[in-house]
Amino acid sequence: MSTQDRYPVARPCLSDLEERYLLDAYRSGWISSQGPYLQRFEEQFAVKCGAAAAVATGNGTVALHLVLAAAGVGPGDEVIVPALTYIATANAVTYCGARPVFVDVSPNTWCIDVEQVAASVGPRTRAVVAVDLYGHPADYPALRALCERHGLLLVADAAESFGAFLNGRPTGDLGDATTFSFFGNKVITAGEGGCVTTSDLALADRMRLLRNQGMDPRRRYFFPVVGFNYRLTNLAAALLCAQLERADEIISRREVVISAYERELSNPPLIHRQPVLPGVRRAPWMASFLVGPAGTKGLRDDLARTLDLLGVETRPFFVPIPDLPPYADVNNDYPVTADLSRRGINLPTYAELSDVDLKVVVDRVRAALSKVTDRR
Ligand SMILES: *Cc1c(COP(=O)(O)O)cnc(C)c1O
């Protein structure tokens, strides 16, 4: 593969296997939300994640809503979520008529700060949704102990951490239920898609019921409850079966990409790599760095603009959710979230980035870094 003028921040890794399965599903006529690939994907995904059951969904956002709805989260309830995450985490709570309560993240993991979760538990708290930000699992042992003590549901939003391990246990087996996304920029993808894993079989049954419009599994077209159409198609499941077979290969190449960046670019205090706690094997979702020392403003944006002109697409870290209009919070005080959000940048991360391309991108990042520091 030759070098390119522009490098996107993400790109799916699709092979002949995906094409073969997709075509097979297409030719079979099972293009809708029933079919052999769906069943196969759910079985194999559950095994891969160390969970008893997997419930595939149309995307990762509805996977989150499905778990909360199946667990009975509703109006008057509060759900604790990190202030630094993708909007879907908070929106899923809102869809239930419940209120998201935001908590700052820890500088050691970039994930929800467990001590602040403990301080935020109140009489209306029903659940905690932890997010494995940029592939690093949250502190599930501590969260699990806390949630058990207070009788709270612990949901892991693992949209960004498929393939991660914590103390030898895979993502998918770390909370009461775990949600995944298979959007086009995720570690494995079907363009759109999602899944929930759990070892609570009653919860899995409830999710299957609600996913399929609430239809009684023993009585067709009888709807005992209000459900949703959150189904995945057999076509998407065919892609996911292929992606799952190739997951280890995709993950190890992405790990090579991220470690190359970390080796070549680590240059504190100008640029810092993502912290990784002992016992953690992070999922290689996106190479994530912090630009400048704590408290730096503007340098990340300057770097991103400079890289864009050099043909390297980047992504800034998420905007703090309490800074967004639907969740505007007058008592907004999430200092770690605010700082990471201003300094964080994601670099192009995909399996098909060749060694030569990687070197080109690294050189451009180095050049951009010296430009932006010269300007200061
Ligand atoms: C990608 C993502 C989701 C779900 O996204 P969909 O696009 O609906 O599949 C949820 N939470 C986080 C943290 C994500 O990164």
Q: How far apart are CA 185 and CA 154, in angstroms?
A: 26
Q: How far apart are CA 240 and CA 45, in angstroms?
A: 9
Ligand 1 pocket member 157 (CB < 6 A): yes
Of ligand 1's listed atoms, the one at least distance from the Cα of 62 is: 8
Ligand 1 pocket member 90 (CB < 6 A): no
Ligand 1 pocket member 163 (CB < 6 A): no
Q: What pLDDT does 376 receive?
A: 82
Which comes out higher in pLDDT, residue 2 or 223? Answer: 223
Residue 82 pLDDT more than 90? yes
Residue 54, SS3? strand
Q: What pLDDT does 331 receive?
A: 79
Q: What pLDDT does 5 receive?
A: 86
In the chain, ranges of CATH 3.90.1150.10 domains: 247-374
Q: How far apart are CA 62 and CA 58, in angstroms?
A: 7
For the chain, percent helix, then strand, then coil, each to nearest 5? 40, 20, 40
Report the CATH superfamily, name and number, of domain 247-374: Aspartate Aminotransferase, domain 1 (3.90.1150.10)
Quickly list H helices, the chain: 16-28, 36-48, 60-70, 87-95, 114-120, 140-150, 201-211, 234-245, 247-265, 299-309, 335-343, 355-374
Q: How far apart are CA 329 and CA 104, in angstroms?
A: 13
Q: What pLDDT does 130 receive?
A: 98
Residue 329 pLDDT more than 90? no
Residue 3 pLDDT more than 80? no
Mean pLDDT of 77-90: 98
Q: Containing H/E element for 129?
A: strand 125-131
- Best residue among 9, 57, 59, 61 to mutate for probing ligand 1's pocket (most ligand atoms within 8 Å of CB) is 61
By the 8 A CB rule, do 342 and 296 touch? yes
In the chain, ranges of CATH 3.40.640.10 domains: 16-245
Ligand 1 pocket member 66 (CB < 6 A): no
Q: Which CATH architecture has domain 16-245?
A: 3-Layer(aba) Sandwich (3.40)
User: Alpha carbon of 1 to those of 21, 176, 354, 357: distances in Å?
Assistant: 25, 43, 7, 8
Report the separation in Å between the CA atom of 10 and the middle of ligand 1, taken as the mean of its atom positions. 15
Q: How far apart are CA 316 and CA 346, in angstroms?
A: 6
Report the separation in Å between the CA atom of 198 and the middle of ligand 1, taken as the mean of its atom positions. 18
Of ligand 1's listed atoms, the one at least distance from the Cα of 64 is: 10
Confidence of residue 332 (pLDDT cuts 50, 70, 90): confident
* Residue minimizing CA distance to atom 13 of ligand 1: 86
Whole-model pTM: value is: 0.97
pLDDT per position as a tens digit, 101-119: 999 999 999 999 999 999 9
Report the separation in Å between the CA atom of 135 and the middle of ligand 1, taken as the mean of its atom positions. 12
- Best residue among 183, 186, 196, 232 to mutate for probing ligand 1's pocket (most ligand atoms within 8 Å of CB) is 183
The partner residues of 170 in beta bridges, in order of sequence, read 165
Residue 309, SS3? helix
Q: How far apart are CA 170 and CA 222, in angstroms?
A: 38
* Residue minimizing CA distance to atom 4 of ligand 1: 60
Ligand 1 pocket member 318 (CB < 6 A): no
Q: Nearest-CA neighbor of 64 among 171, 156, 174?
A: 156
Residue 204 pLDDT more than 60? yes
Q: How far apart are CA 79 and CA 50, in angstroms?
A: 26
* Residue minimizing CA distance to atom 14 of ligand 1: 159
Confidence of residue 1 (pLDDT cuts 50, 70, 90): very low
Q: What is the DSSP string of 67-110?
A: HHHHTT--TT-EEEEESSS-HHHHHHHHHTT-EEEEEPBPTTTS
Report the separation in Å between the CA atom of 89 and the middle of ligand 1, taken as the mean of its atom positions. 8
Mean pLDDT of 337-353: 98
**Please, how many CA atoms are within 13 Å of residue 189, restricted to the half-sphere of its CB?**
18
Q: How far apart are CA 239 and CA 219, in angstroms?
A: 31
pLDDT per position as a tens digit, 236-275: 999 999 999 999 999 999 999 999 999 999 888 899 999 9
Amino acid at 96: C
* Residue minimizing CA distance to atom 9 of ligand 1: 60
Q: How far apart are CA 114 and CA 82, in angstroms?
A: 10
Q: What pLDDT does 307 receive?
A: 98
Q: How far apart are CA 229 and CA 227, in angstroms?
A: 7
Tracing tokens 């043909």 back to the chain, one arrives at: 311
Residue 210 pLDDT more than 60? yes
Report the separation in Å between the CA atom of 85 and the middle of ligand 1, taken as the mean of its atom positions. 9
Q: What pLDDT does 212 receive?
A: 98
pLDDT per position as a tens digit, 44-77: 999 999 999 999 999 999 999 999 999 999 999 9
Residue 302 pLDDT more than 60? yes
Average pLDDT, the chain: 97
Amino acid at 259: S
Q: What pLDDT does 266 receive?
A: 81
Percent of the chain with pLDDT over 90: 95
User: Alpha carbon of 10 to those of 124, 285, 349: distances in Å?
Assistant: 40, 9, 6
